[in-house]
Amino acid sequence: MLTIFLAVPFFTLQAQDCTSLLNISTGDSSSVIYLNDSYLGSGRISREVKKGKYKILIKDEARKWGAQEIVDSISINECGKTENLEYSFKKTVYLRTIPDNAEVYFRDSLLGSTPLSIYRTVPQVEIRKTNYKPVFLTAEDLAQNPLIDLDFMGKRAPESFFKTNLFKILVGSAIALGTTAVYYKLKANKTYDQYNETKESTLMDKTNRYDLYSGIAFGALQVNFGALIYFFFVNE
């Protein structure tokens, strides 16, 4: 009777210590590891676990959209055992295009739009975008150059008149001509006032000359504005 009494605590203690060591490794420090939906760590973890069945979930990056996932499970049926699990992700290449939002196909199946991560095991892809020349790339092509500059094949929209050098020249000359016309008109008014005070003929000559300069600048300004209006309607 005494023997039975002493054995009960022994077996209870043995049951409480019935654990095994679970080692999970991916070889990728950016990967995140979950056990039964509980986060354990990144890259490589070691945990003591009790008997039971466990679900393993591994993602190649914690917050990357469309990240690769590895789903597995393991049953721990013994005590004091060490389980070593190693996993690896499929290698990918990050495909980008200029411009982006180009569709990527493999055997007429749409893989997605650029920028896009593609498994290196995909032998060939086709890149399509409206008004751009299609591009066929092998896995080797993608590995060597994942940034593809697409060739435009459509009709380019005409450049806005307001962005052309002609518009800048006409506006600049209009400002210069307007300033010149005002400048000489003010000088003409000033010399005319002096003429009225002194009646010197040279002052009248200067007044007439300044008025002429102002008139020429103002006339050129009108032509300039006419050209601005004409090219605006022609280009729009």
* Residue range 192-232, pLDDT digits in tens: 888 888 888 888 888 899 989 999 988 998 998 888 888 87
- Same domain for 63 and 102, yes or no, is no
pLDDT in tens, 115-151: 988 888 888 999 999 999 999 999 888 888 889 999 9
Report yes or no on whether pTM surpasses 0.75.
Answer: no
Q: Is the pLDDT of residue 62 over 80?
A: no
Q: Which of 114, 85, 75, 86 is nearest to 98 (CA)?
A: 114
Domain count, the chain: 3
- Same domain for 108 and 130, yes or no, is yes
Domain-embedded: residue 8: no
Domain-embedded: residue 11: no
Taking the CB of residue 1, how many other CB atoms lie within 10 A of it? Answer: 4
- CATH code of 49's domain: 2.60.40
pLDDT in tens, 156-186: 767 777 778 888 888 889 899 889 989 999 9
Q: Which two tokens stand for residue 120?
A: 């290196």
Q: SS3 for 26?
A: coil
Last residue of a domain, one of 52, 69, 86: 86
Residue-number span of the structural domain to which 40 is assigned: 19-86
- Same domain for 119 and 172, yes or no, is no
CB-based contacts of 196-205 (< 8 A; 24+ apart in sequence):
none
- Non-local (6+) Cβ contacts of 79 within 8 A are 17, 18, 19, 20, 51
Which strands sit side by side in the sheet containing 38-42, from one edge to the other? 38-42, 32-35, 52-59, 69-76
Q: SS3 for 129?
A: coil
